[in-house]
Structure 1
Amino acid sequence: MDYKDTLLMMKTEFPMRGNLPNREPEMQKDWDAADIYAKVQERTKGRPMFILHDGPPYANGDIHMGHALNKVLKDFIVRYKSMSGFHAPYVPGWDTHGLPIETALTKNGKVNRKSLSVAEFRKLCEEYAREQVNRQREQFKRLGVRGDWENPYITLDKEYEAQQIKVFGDMAKKGYIYKGLKPVYWSPSSESALAEAEIEYHDKRSPSIFVAFDVKDGKGVLEQDEKIVIWTTTPWTIPANLGITVHPDLEYSVVKVNGVKYVVASGLLESLEKELEWENYEVVRTMKGQQLEYVVAQHPLYDRESLVMCGDHVTLDAGTGCVHTAPGHGEDDYIVGKKYGLDVLNPVDDKGVFTEEAPGFEGQFYDNANKPITEKLEEVGALLKLTFITHSYPHDWRTKKPVIFRATAQWFASIKDFREELLQAIKEVNWIPTWGETRLFNMVRDRGDWCISRQRAWGVPIPIFYGENNEPIVSDETIDHVSNLFRQHGSNIWFEWDTKDLLPEGFTSEHSPNGTFTREMDIMDVWFDSGSSHQAVLEERDDLQRPADLYLEGSDQYRGWFNSSLSTSVAVSGKAPYKGVLSHGFALDGEGRKMSKSIGNVVVPNDVMKQLGADILRLWVASVDYQADVRVSDKILKQVSEVYRKIRNTFRFLLGNLFDFNPAQDRVEFAQLPELDQYMEIKLNDIIGKVNQAYDQYQFSTVFHAVHNFCTIELSSFYLDIAKDTLYIDHADSHARRSIQTVMYDILVALTKLVTPILPHTADEVWQFIPAVTEESVQLTDMPTAVDYSNSQAVVEKWDRFMDVRNDVLKALENARNEKVIKKSLTASLTLYPTDKTKELLENVDQLHKLFIVSGATIAGSKESTPANAETFDDIAIVVEKAEGETCERCWIVTKEIGKDPNHPTLCPTCTETVTKHY
């Protein structure tokens, strides 16, 4: 007899190698063919809803690691919720308007913008945007992200635009929308106004100048031979200067330096003495800032007055305490200037070039004019000092070029009119991490009105009509009509049709007695587009609801989508659009640097999936602390691949040892399981509870570590290692074997479900090999739930203590191996000298040698009688010796009992009995 034939070795067609790059696309085709998304929705219909509302990525270019991190995190949550008692539809979306698409079409001469009408150009933009949506859709699907990919929301769709018009109309009706001339972030490189969310800060080298303004009318407080000193890092704004602002409560000094008298804040004298190299200055007199109010200074370059005003924004942080004020180029300047009745002078055009309102500098680009303006100030004797500083300066986030503050006529959303409602709504949201609440609260508390108009072609038009007197017209009638037109025809008609055709039939207005109307040609800020999604998607679609349960985006969206969505939602509905907000960090390289093509450290999701597979990328997402910035590199992904290999091998081992297990017939009830098997069922119970709780709390790294540790420590290094002997050597229907198989089956089914949100491809692959499962996909099942086992605490306490003893035994065996006492553990025999408490434990455990995977284990005496050659631990001393006897051909145990049955001269008594009875 060939004894190998009597061994029940593992059998499975589940492959050892994942081959994910090839296998995953085939599985995704099967999912599409089966319409697995629809089946999931049908199965969970009627359950409580959980809506994770997708923040729309911009439709331009291939996805990057930030996209992958974001979409995979969302998929974890949606998949888990659909398996844990919720109905969780997921509708992906795209942001499709704005400058990047215009630029993509016009750069490198692809499209001659000037040869096209606005409507023709917009049609090309739409075609390009839809191409990008299709491109990114396939890449997101390749990540294994499950969603309603055939019915996404796209901000250029007619239905979306129609709802966006209604949001605008509701806000206008409540008085939140107005048109005003005030300074806004203006990008000369984009030739458009920008919102705060479109600003990023980079270092910029700027001139730093101190300029003296002669006193023209001191109002009895200052003399005409005295000069007020200002400081600025934007000399180009001097031509727009109309005033000087002081703080009413600060003290100011008139100081005499080399016969010249200057006015500066007393609190800055020490720093100015060094900066301006004043030697032996003399303080002539002091006064409060409020005494300087309405003093008149002479503009240093023009025959124009500069009024001294009081403003609380003046500080002693830098400068002179006397702030150069140009109402056309600064928000604080504008506010104080408006208070004192100053004009809003803006001598710079859309391209950042000086107009005729800046005599002597017209035609010059603002930044280039810094030098000639400074030279002119020096020529007239007004320049006290010129240096250069490097400071953080606002830049256009798209062109990466500096922006300016520039007063233009723009449309605004008046945040101040409903700021308190916004702040209250923020308090009612669940923020993860908790600092998100403070961050957004402070932003909303401190932000000014929202500039929502843009001077571009590609976007949703602002639905405003003007009468003959140029008064804006917005009413329920016009808003509803435009919204309905856009729903039917799309917003391009705004640029194709005549104004009269865009108005309701027979429309009249007191502003146009002759019935002549014009329309606004600016478009809305793209943040108004995406910020309207709570209505354009959550309210528009029957399968969703507002508010969403969760918004999940990168931490940059506190000033972006989280903010704009909150503003529009509170404005129209009085409530936040989300119940919870979860944010994640940015994807960096392995050294913590920002990814950059120039550095060559960019990790591309598509490349990772081609080389390793989507499940490896997803497992990486689960492994990181995503609420902070995360690192990714080839080395890190290799480490993740090793974890994946261990998890996959665990599944393969479990499957391979269940080839003859039928759960309906072979299952052993918990009460009849041996204690060790009960212990493992309880440990499985613990992991189920821990993982479910971690998913509920969005702690995916806890899931990652819990599953990894369970596979490597509880299973591979302990239970499965011990189980091999019984699984392979016992006869098929032995109670011990069926008990182990029962536990392994429960572990296999539960573990497959637990990893499904993270490793959907691998989990579905495993599912196809599990005996007796009826669902076509693990995605159509629910998460396992914890079971309340009786007497579990006593079992756990006993076997946890045994695990501690076993760890000591394994250390002793390892040391004996290193010292060449034994070759492998089965060639060893142990003599144990435990403490009294440990002895009691070991005496209540059957077949110690099997649990230690040795050929013999004897409890010889107490620890006090430990021989000199024993290895000593806290609770036990162990002598490891080479086992005496011969090796059983079938089970490899070493014993003196080999060959007692002449029919089986190479077998131990246990194997002899098994072979005799069952083969």
Structure 2
Amino acid sequence: MNYKDTLNLPQTGFPMKAGLVQREPERLKQWYAEGIHDRIRARHAKATESFILHDGPPFANGDVHIGTALNKTLKDFILKFQTMRGKNVPYVPGWDCHGLPIEFKVMQDFRKEKRQDATAADIRKACEAYARKYIDIQREQFKRLGVFGDWDNPYLTLDKKYEAEELRLFADLVEKGFVYRGKKPVYWSIPCRTALAEAEVEYADHVSQSVFVKFPVISKEGEDNTHLIIWTTTPWTLPANLAVAYHSRFTYKKVRVNGELYIVEATLLPTVAKTCGWENIEEVHSLNGEEIGALEYRHPFIDRTAKLYAGDNFVENTTGTGFVHVAPGHGMDDYHLGCANGLPIYCPVDDDGKFAHTDDLPIADQMPAALLGKAILEKKGTSEANEAVLELLREKSALVHQENYTHSYPHCWRSKTPVIFRGMDQWFINIDHNGFRQTALAAIDDVSWVPDWGKARIQGAVESRPDWCISRQRTWGVPIPAFYDADGEPLLDARIVRKTADLIEQHGSNVWFERNTAALWADVCPDDWTGDAPAKKSTDTLDVWI
């Protein structure tokens, strides 16, 4: 007797072995052969209730990885569940096609091929081909995961109509007064040669050169061997120093060390003395904020003098010396102090991240020629610009102490290298225009947050977010339809932006890079324009987050 024949077991047509590797492709083939998704959509198209998923698209620059796979399948669970509840659930997948990652990869390929003469149009065509290649690859990979969607009609940010709508939205922002051009410090990625927004910056530990430097004080009788002691972890910014900040409510000490007179904040004196190895310190006298503010000093290696200004909102007595070296072109605190006191936004660094003279100061007041061309970006842990500045400080006997300092520092999200703060002309969106920040903060209260700690996180981000830098010095993106006159003054007009949108909807955004300034102006000049024709078109592109 066969005992299994005596058991009352359920009967099934399913095989005992799953065989997923063979059966999953067969099942997917059956779904598409029978048009399962189309039939579901037809059945639910007239449902009384709809469920719409606004899907943040993947980037078209490689194969699907575990993160994009998880993202897409979790969303597919929700969409299928809502469909099974009888709702109308249209899902249009899409791809983010513009931006730095694709251009970065294309430029790497161009360098390997030694294509040094590639035009902006050449780069853009290669970027589009690269993006479309991975759109096709990822589409098949998502379908292999069983994700349902309108795969034959996805939205692509490189489509002409999509680009045109992006510019029409931008024109509305221009028309409402949100967009302005200004010179202020922005995050600058040296390898990528572009400005970065706050969201494109990652923080990581970095070992910097920590230096204590002597700034000679100028008294009414001339220099009397008295020095301010400043501390910085970016020696390469010292050529851009235009001021020193102090705290008006701190007490400072003038001390004699080895025959020289140094001024340091009183509570920090013991720490500074220990760090710098000072012994036999003789306290001469104390100085209050008013007395400190009356001082002037001479730059340690450039023949120019400068003043001290109160910087109570950022000068601290927890680290450093109680003095902060101020370079208005290399930091936001420095920038605001410089603007408040009429200092130029001086940034003697070029697009390649190398020292250079600028038009902001007379050449005689700028760095010595020996520093020109020195690169800031570290190679094998050493910055050529830092080393050159340190050597100059040693020659001038201005370097009090030097040591390595590990701290959290902003890095480029793409190149993974430290960014620099670089004062330069960029396009910005004014976050506080017409009370927009407060409107956004109020809207947060109208949202149900899951998990609830997300509310505090987004509130903090919105409260502290600076004006949005929306211009990129890259080629693969939607152009900013701005022009410049013969004096370099910008021209950004909502009517011009809308006409450019119409042009791009017809020809694609490559037209901006393929046609010269005169030809573009003939196409987008407002009908009632009475001013001069521009001398130059903008070559910047919009931040892809627009």
- Common fold, TM-score beyond 0.5? yes
Q: Which runs of 5+ in 1 are unaligned?
A: 529-919
- Determine helix, strand or coil for the equivalent of 1:267: helix
Contact conserved, 2:483 with 2:538, CA < 8 A, in 1?
Answer: yes
Q: Give identity over the alignment, percent.
A: 48
Assess, with a 3 A threshold, how the Cα gap between structure 1 residues 284 and 84 changes in structure 2: closer, same or farther: farther
Q: In the alignment, does 2:368 pair up with 1:364? A: no
Q: In the alignment, does 2:207 pair up with 1:205? A: yes
Matches within 5 A, 1:527-606: 527-528=545-546
- Determine helix, strand or coil for the equivalent of 2:334: helix
Given residue 182 of structure 1, which amino acid in structure 2 is its aligned partner? K
* Cα distance between partner residues in 2 of 1:14 and 1:87: 32
Aligned twin of 1:438: 456
* Cα distance between partner residues in 1 of 2:460 and 2:534: 46
C-alpha deviation, 1:217, in angstroms: 4.3
- Determine helix, strand or coil for the equivalent of 2:372: coil
C-alpha deviation, 1:197, in angstroms: 1.6
Assess, with a 3 A threshold, how the Cα gap between structure 1 residues 156 and 428 changes in structure 2: closer, same or farther: same
Which structure would you say has the larger Rg? 1
The one of 422, 439, 451 equivalent to 1:421 is 439
Contact conserved, 1:82 with 1:88, CA < 8 A, in 2?
Answer: yes
Q: In the alignment, does 2:309 pair up with 1:300? A: no
Aligned twin of 1:504: 524
* Cα distance between partner residues in 2 of 1:15 and 1:262: 87
- Determine helix, strand or coil for the equivalent of 1:81: helix
Aligned twin of 2:380: none
C-alpha deviation, 1:203, in angstroms: 2.4
Aligned twin of 1:124: 126
Contact conserved, 2:216 with 2:223, CA < 8 A, in 1?
Answer: no
Contact conserved, 1:63 with 1:139, CA < 8 A, in 2?
Answer: yes
Range moving further from structure 2, 316-325 or 209-218: 209-218
The one of 354, 358, 377 equivalent to 2:393 is 377
Matches within 5 A, 1:671-750: none
* Cα distance between partner residues in 1 of 2:242 and 2:3: 102
C-alpha deviation, 1:270, in angstroms: 2.6
Contact conserved, 1:106 with 1:113, CA < 8 A, in 2?
Answer: no
- Determine helix, strand or coil for the equivalent of 1:57: coil
Range moving further from structure 2, 321-330 or 355-364: 355-364
C-alpha deviation, 1:241, in angstroms: 0.7
* Cα distance between partner residues in 1 of 2:62 and 2:539: 28
C-alpha deviation, 1:85, in angstroms: 4.6
| RCO higher in structure (CA 8 A, sep ≥6) | 2
- Determine helix, strand or coil for the equivalent of 2:352: coil
Assess, with a 3 A threshold, how the Cα gap between structure 1 residues 405 and 30 changes in structure 2: closer, same or farther: same
C-alpha deviation, 1:280, in angstroms: 4.0
Aligned twin of 1:166: 168
Contact conserved, 1:113 with 1:121, CA < 8 A, in 2?
Answer: no
C-alpha deviation, 1:429, in angstroms: 2.4
Aligned twin of 2:468: 450
Q: In the alignment, does 2:253 pair up with 1:253? A: yes
Contact conserved, 1:468 with 1:511, CA < 8 A, in 2?
Answer: no
Given residue 64 of structure 1, which amino acid in structure 2 is its aligned partner? H
Assess, with a 3 A threshold, how the Cα gap between structure 1 residues 504 and 106 changes in structure 2: closer, same or farther: closer
* Cα distance between partner residues in 1 of 2:320 and 2:483: 46
Aligned twin of 2:146: 144
Normalising by the residue count of structure 2, what TM-score does the alignment of the two structures yield? 0.90
Matches within 5 A, 1:451-490: 451-490=469-508
* Cα distance between partner residues in 2 of 1:18 and 1:496: 56
* Cα distance between partner residues in 2 of 1:51 and 1:379: 68
* Cα distance between partner residues in 1 of 2:498 and 2:290: 52
Range moving further from structure 2, 109-118 or 459-468: 109-118
- Determine helix, strand or coil for the equivalent of 2:442: helix
Q: In the alignment, does 2:230 pair up with 1:230? A: yes
* Cα distance between partner residues in 2 of 1:2 and 1:19: 28
- Determine helix, strand or coil for the equivalent of 2:401: strand
* Cα distance between partner residues in 1 of 2:281 and 2:217: 20
Assess, with a 3 A threshold, how the Cα gap between structure 1 residues 170 and 283 changes in structure 2: closer, same or farther: farther
- Determine helix, strand or coil for the equivalent of 1:100: helix
Contact conserved, 2:192 with 2:415, CA < 8 A, in 1?
Answer: yes
Assess, with a 3 A threshold, how the Cα gap between structure 1 residues 257 and 14 changes in structure 2: closer, same or farther: same
C-alpha deviation, 1:523, in angstroms: 0.8
Aligned twin of 1:406: 422
* Cα distance between partner residues in 2 of 1:210 and 1:447: 32
Aligned twin of 2:363: none
Contact conserved, 1:185 with 1:193, CA < 8 A, in 2?
Answer: yes
- Determine helix, strand or coil for the equivalent of 2:512: helix
* Cα distance between partner residues in 1 of 2:23 and 2:291: 80
More strand by share: 2
Contact conserved, 2:236 with 2:385, CA < 8 A, in 1?
Answer: yes
- Determine helix, strand or coil for the equivalent of 1:103: helix
Aligned twin of 2:33: 33
Aligned twin of 1:395: 411
Contact conserved, 1:290 with 1:310, CA < 8 A, in 2?
Answer: no
Assess, with a 3 A threshold, how the Cα gap between structure 1 residues 254 and 68 changes in structure 2: closer, same or farther: same
1:230-280 alpha-carbon deviations (Å, 9 max, x no partner): 101111111111111112233322233334222222231232121122334
Assess, with a 3 A threshold, how the Cα gap between structure 1 residues 376 and 117 changes in structure 2: closer, same or farther: closer
Given residue 376 of structure 1, which amino acid in structure 2 is its aligned partner? L
Given residue 421 of structure 1, which amino acid in structure 2 is its aligned partner? T
Aligned twin of 1:183: 185
Aligned twin of 2:271: 271
Aligned twin of 1:334: 335
C-alpha deviation, 1:510, in angstroms: 4.8
Assess, with a 3 A threshold, how the Cα gap between structure 1 residues 25 and 523 changes in structure 2: closer, same or farther: same
- Determine helix, strand or coil for the equivalent of 2:498: helix
C-alpha deviation, 1:2, in angstroms: 9.5
More helix by share: 1
* Cα distance between partner residues in 1 of 2:90 and 2:249: 59
C-alpha deviation, 1:419, in angstroms: 1.7
Contact conserved, 1:169 with 1:474, CA < 8 A, in 2?
Answer: no
Assess, with a 3 A threshold, how the Cα gap between structure 1 residues 200 and 5 changes in structure 2: closer, same or farther: closer
Q: In the alignment, does 2:75 pair up with 1:50? A: no
Given residue 352 of structure 1, which amino acid in structure 2 is its aligned partner? G
- Determine helix, strand or coil for the equivalent of 1:424: helix
1:706-749 alpha-carbon deviations (Å, 9 max, x no partner): xxxxxxxxxxxxxxxxxxxxxxxxxxxxxxxxxxxxxxxxxxxx
Aligned residues: 524
- Superposition RMSD on alpha carbons, in Å? 2.4
Q: Which runs of 5+ in 2 are unaligned?
A: 358-365, 377-382
Given residue 438 of structure 2, which amino acid in structure 1 is its aligned partner? E
Aligned twin of 2:158: 156
- Determine helix, strand or coil for the equivalent of 1:115: coil
